[in-house]
Amino acid sequence: MTQRLSLRIKLTLGYALVFALTVLVGGGAVFLATRQVLTTSLDATLQETASVAQGSIERDNGRVRFTPELQVSGDLSIELLTQRGVRLTQAGQGGEESGSLSVLTLGLSTQAHRRVLTLAVPGSLLLRVSRPTDILTEFLETLGRLLLFSGAAMIAAACAAGYLLAHRALKPVDAVARTAQSIADQGDYAERVPQAPGHDEMARLTRTVNAMLDQLSSTIEREKQFARTAAHELRTPLTALKGRLDLTLDRPRPAEEYEKALLGMRGRVNALTELTESLLALARTDGPVTLQAVELAATALQVSEALEDAATQQGKRVRLDLEESWVQAEPEGVARAIRNLLENALKYGTGSEVWLRVQGCEVAVENSGPGPEPGSWPRLLQAFERGQGLQGVSGSGLGLALVSALTQRWHAALVPEWRSQTFVIRMQFPRDG
């Protein structure tokens, strides 16, 4: 049942319940305290009257009576009784009402709507002083009704105030819900939640939601751009491959020409496969990170051995300067990052040697030549971006972008260094890893 109620109603009911309990406890305490005070006051009056009455008892010829000087005020009743309850004398009003008091109990008691004080006096007699409790009862009933009605009014006012406060407090939440629904319905990621004023929890909520929407919008736009660029990059080799197939099949050819055409197409398919794997690897960099201990020197050695034949074909050699170094990263990602850096150095370096160094928490790849233009470095870290004058060199433009994305996952840094004769790229890992 409560699951169907809105949060405003739930909060209002919560406020009302707490306030009602508070009013109930407070009203009950006031009622009990008032009754105790009034009863104590009445008892004090009875005791004072009994004290005066004890000094006003006289005996005359075996008869016991009160002296004429005993003046009883108001509705008080004073009686002198035997041990069996037979009235010997009486003073004050309420004689008939006091006659209904049949129970003889020493001390204070309440009988037949009267407050009674019974004391033992010399001569084996009993002195009974009583007073009606009608006024006390009527006052307490009036007080009880007043507390009940005022408490109900205060609870109703608290419910209304609680609902208004809940409504005002939850306005930013409604704005967040409406914005989220609008984004879901229209796909407009530029829409934002109105900023709540102040620095309270709701203001922080709206700021956090807007920051999340900014990040989400940026991510979606980046993914859209990535998808458009990837589609363009894939369409070009696929179009070329389709043209090559059409050209090969437009007329019968000798087996040698078919074999030559198939070998050429296999090379294009291999390039497409490499491009697709790079795209998948770049897409995975947005996934969750599971860091583990990685030994950089061993990984660098494995990568250099895997690229030894490729280096030899280009007339180059990979020189190693390795020392044991452990970092927190992803083994497969570290190997791919080192491979990409080393392949770029072999492809674009001008000298005959490429240095691969591991020192401390750092991997450095150094090659001869000027390297890319310093001003173009930020652009080269984006997917499908290549340096100027390299359009004729085979490559997808994903190598540095993938390395940059991987280093960000590991909270590492990709630092370029331009020297007089060489260019160095350093992959620096946190030293506390």
Say what percent of the chain tops pLDDT 70: 88
Q: 238, 265 in Cβ contact below 8 A? A: no
Beta bridge partners of 356: 320, 365
pLDDT band at residue 198 under the 50/70/90 scheme: confident
The pLDDT of residue 338 is 94
Nearest of 137, 140, 149, 143 to residue 23 by alpha carbon:
149
Which residue, 68, 49, 72, is CA-closest to 58? 68
With 90 as the cut, is the pLDDT of residue 326 above it?
yes
Question: In which band, very low, low, confident or very high, does the pLDDT at 394 lie, cut at 50, 70 and 90?
Answer: low
Confidence band, pLDDT 50/70/90 cuts, at residue 176? confident
Residue 403 reports pLDDT greater than 80: yes
Please, which pLDDT band fits residue 236 given cuts at 50, 70 and 90? low
User: For residues 85 and 234, which has the higher predicted lDDT (pLDDT)?
Assistant: 85
CA-CA distance, 366 to 326, in Å (whole number)? 21
Question: What confidence tier does 94 reach under pLDDT thresholds 50, 70, 90?
Answer: low
pLDDT at 98 over 60: no
d(CA 206, CA 198): 11
Nearest to 395 by CA among 343, 358, 356, 352: 343
Cα 265 to chain centroid distance, Å, stands at 56
Q: Is the pLDDT of residue 416 over 90?
A: yes
Instruction: Calculate the alpha carbon distances from 295 to 150, 222, 335, 385 in Å.
Output: 77, 33, 10, 31
51 pLDDT exceeds 70? yes
**Better pLDDT: 249 or 143:** 143
Higher-scoring residue by pLDDT: 317, 180 = 317
Overall pTM > 0.85: no
| 112, 77 Cβ separation under 8 angstroms | no
What's the pLDDT at 172?
A: 75
Q: Which residue has the higher pLDDT, 298 or 263?
A: 298
Nearest to 126 by CA among 105, 109, 111: 105
Q: Give the domain ranges of the chain.
A: 7-56+75-156, 190-284, 292-428
At the topology level, CATH places domain 190-284 in Helix Hairpins (1.10.287)
Cβ neighbour number for residue 315 with a 10 Å cutoff: 8
Q: What's the confidence (pLDDT) of residue 320? A: 94
Scan for tokens 């319940």, then name that residue: 17
Options 3.40.50.300, 1.10.1200.10, 3.40.1840.10, 3.90.550.10; which CATH number does 7-56+75-156 get?
Answer: 3.40.1840.10
Query: Which pLDDT band holds residue 294 (cuts at 50, 70, 90)?
Result: very high
CA distance 381 to 415: 11
Position 392 pLDDT exceeds 60: no
pLDDT at residue 2, rounded to an integer? 58
Which pair of structure tokens corresponds to residue 433?
């890893």
pLDDT of 389 over the 60 cut: no
Residue 366 has pLDDT above 90, yes or no: yes
The CATH fold assigned to 292-428 is Heat Shock Protein 90 (3.30.565)
How confident is the model at residue 89, as a pLDDT?
84
Nearest to 297 by CA among 321, 324, 319: 324
- Contacts for 315 with CB less than 8 Å, ≥ 6 apart: 352
Q: What is the DSSP string of 149-213?
A: HHHHHHHHHHHHHHHHHHHHHTHHHHHHHHHHHHHHHH--TT--PPPPSSSSHHHHHHHHHHHHH
Residue 80: which residues within 8 A CB-CB, separation 6 or more?
57, 64, 65, 66, 87, 88, 89, 90, 121, 125, 126, 127, 128
Whole-number Å distance between alpha carbons of 303 and 137: 99
pLDDT band at 1 (very low <50, low <70, confident <90, very high): low
